[in-house]
Amino acid sequence: MTARPLRFFEGQALNYSRVWRASIFSNFLNPVLYLAAMGIGLGSLVDRNQAAEFGGIGYLAWLAPGLLAAAGMQSGASEGSFPVMVGLKWIKTYPAIMNTPLSILDLLLGLLSWIAVRLVMICGIFAAILVLFDAADPGNAVLAVFPAVLTGLAFAAPMAAFASWLEDDTGLTMVFRFGIVPLFLFSGTFFPIEQLPDFLEGLAYATPLFHGVELTRSIALGIESALPTWQHITYLLTVLVIGALLAHHYLTKKLRT
């Protein structure tokens, strides 16, 4: 990161330093609740009746990497949406930044860099809890953080573009309700997408979360995924780049008019 995007990054870090205590509890609590309820509670029933559906892997171990990738998606989408709306519309820090030497590209690079750091923090905590639950070995859990972070960025950039295009936050609420939640439920996090009807299975293959879940799970468990690793990575990087380009376009329209 060059000096000018670093200035924006430092501003985000300073803001977070004032409120981190409010978020750290949920970062720990959410993984524990998900793993306890779905992995241990439901998982004990699944293991007794449907173990073959998961290749002989215990449901907790199978589920945990999917939840890690989904945590990346949810955090990336959140960090890339409402903070952008806040900066553009509510407290108008982004228009103020345009009166400094920072460019729109500097702002965007600083924003995505900060989101990447936040994702490493969130997914790192989640991975540590996976180890505590004996859902992954430490080495694979560390490696699984990287695809989860990439998944988060693949959502953060398009959400930043969408937030830059919107005039108010109503659209963001709709995206989370009718986009992020269905993806969380039907992209392979909780069950193999082969269990879906054929037309929904095809749609699932086209979602970034499916690729993130498959990539994270294959690394965490040391198993083969539905597609080659390079295809998952290429897909997620493509979504990230397209989202970043669109975010730059819409930020330019908002801040230069």
Ranges 28-32, 40-44, 50-54, 124-128: which has the least confidence: 50-54
Handedness of CA 93, 253, 236, 180 (dihedral sign): positive
Split at pLDDT 50, 70, 90, the class of 42 is low
Model confidence pLDDT, tens digit, residues 169-218? 888 999 999 999 999 999 999 988 988 888 888 899 999 999 999 999 99
Please tell me the least confidently modeled range out of 24-28, 30-34, 156-160, 181-185: 24-28
Model confidence pLDDT, tens digit, residues 221-240: 988 888 999 999 999 999 99
Q: What is the pLDDT of residues 43-62, one digit of tens each?
A: 666 666 665 556 668 888 89
Residue 243 CA, distance from chain mean position: 14
Percent of the chain at pLDDT > 70 equals 91
User: pTM higher than 0.85 for the full model?
Assistant: yes
183 close to 207: Cβ distance less than 8 angstroms:
yes
Q: How far is CA 257 from CA 33, 108, 249, in A?
A: 46, 18, 12
Domain boundaries, the chain: 3-255
Contact criterion met (CB below 8 Å) for 208 and 151: yes
Range from 9-18, 170-179, 246-255 carrying the lowest mean pLDDT: 9-18
Tokens representing 140 are 């694979």
Per-position DSSP letters for 171-208, written without gaps between them: HHHHHIIIIIHHHHHHSSSSS-GGGS-HHHHHHHHTSH
- Backbone phi and psi for residue 37, each to the nearest 5 degrees, phi listed first: -75, -50
pLDDT in the model for residue 19: 76
Q: Are 108 and 248 in contact (CB under 8 A)?
A: yes
Query: What Cα–Cα distance (Å) separates residue 160 from each residue in 25, 149, 150?
Result: 26, 16, 15
Sign (positive or negative) of CA dihedral 88, 92, 93, 98: positive
- The C-alpha angle with vertex 166 and arms to 160 and 169, in degrees rounded to 5, equals 90
Is the predicted pLDDT of residue 112 greater than 70, yes or no? yes
For residue 88, the one-letter residue type is: L
Q: From CA 138, how far away is CA 128, in angstroms rounded?
A: 8
Identity of the amino acid at 188: G
Q: What's residue 169's pLDDT?
A: 81
H or E element, residue 36 = none
Report pLDDT for 211. Answer: 97
Average pLDDT in the 12-27 region?
Answer: 78
User: Average per-residue pLDDT in the chain?
Assistant: 89
